[in-house]
Amino acid sequence: MAQPTRAEVVEAELQRIIPILVVGVLVFLLGLFLVYLSTKATWMPFPVGVIVTLVGLGIAGYGGWQYLQLNNLPSYRAVCPYCERPTLFLAPPTEDYSCEHCHRVVAIEGGQVVPPMVLVCRHCGAPQKVSPRAKMFICDQCNGQNDLKPAAPKPGVAAAVAAAPDESIEYTTYDLVLVDAGHNVEEVLDILGALLAAPRDHCRGILKDLPMVILVDLPRRKADSYRRMLRDAGATAEVHPTGQYRPPARQERS
């Protein structure tokens, strides 16, 4: 991140200040020892011990003063629109930053937080807060992936994309369904991570909930090549025309 958070600045400052404090204390202790020595040994003049002690105090004092200055660093609260927790900066953020708490990217325009869009997951219908920068989002509820480009509207679960596309684009696209991860789970996780640009933990979550539509609105060739990648890794994947796939009814265990 180009713009460091306040916590990052404080951390960097501490890295600089703590050695100063340590050196100051060590020099101070050395000075005390020399003062003590001058009372025992005649070759050690008393003023030398005093001077070293004072130098130690001076260095430690300088370090302490620098430490106190940290409290005077300016602080600006940028409240995350997703988790509503603040991230502190030295100045209002001027560019996108990732939230310290939920790690989502908060979009900044003109020094202001751009409010997230609320979109409806096309797989389960749950409303989700989505970054205006997002090209896709993965639903917190069902882990289904939603691409944010005009797609053939699906009856029932309508994708409430903010920028309602007027032109109905006629094209046939395909959804990639991961049916089974097979035995090479780690390799499949690698592929999922690359395909979804999602963290590994998230991909692991997907594997717990198969079968699942993992990518939607793909051109045929792309969908086929992704399916091949997954099959080569030992997973079972299927390609269905967008919106056509119906997962088998989940057996409810009670």
CB of 146 to Zn ion, least distance (A): 8
Dist. CA 178–CA 199, nearest whole Å: 17
Please say which residue, 80 or 203, places its beta carbon nearer to Zn ion. 80
CB of 213 to Zn ion, least distance (A): 10
Q: Which residue has the tokens 């050690």?
A: 44
CB of 102 to Zn ion, least distance (A): 3
Dist. CA 109–CA 94, nearest whole Å: 7
Please say which residue, 31 or 144, places its beta carbon nearer to Zn ion. 144
Q: Which H, E and C letters describe 43-88, residue by residue?
A: CCCHHHHHHHHHHHHHHHHHHHHHHHHHHHCCCEEEECCCCCCEEE
Binding site for Zn ion (CB under 5 A): 80, 82-83, 99, 101-102, 121, 123-124, 126, 139, 141-142, 144
Please say which residue, 128 or 173, places its beta carbon nearer to Zn ion. 128
Please confirm whether the linkage preceding 127 is cis (ω < 30° from 0): no
CB of 225 to Zn ion, least distance (A): 26
Which residue from 195, 204, 81, 190 is spatially nearest to 133, judged by alpha carbons?
81
Please say which residue, 59 or 206, places its beta carbon nearer to Zn ion. 206
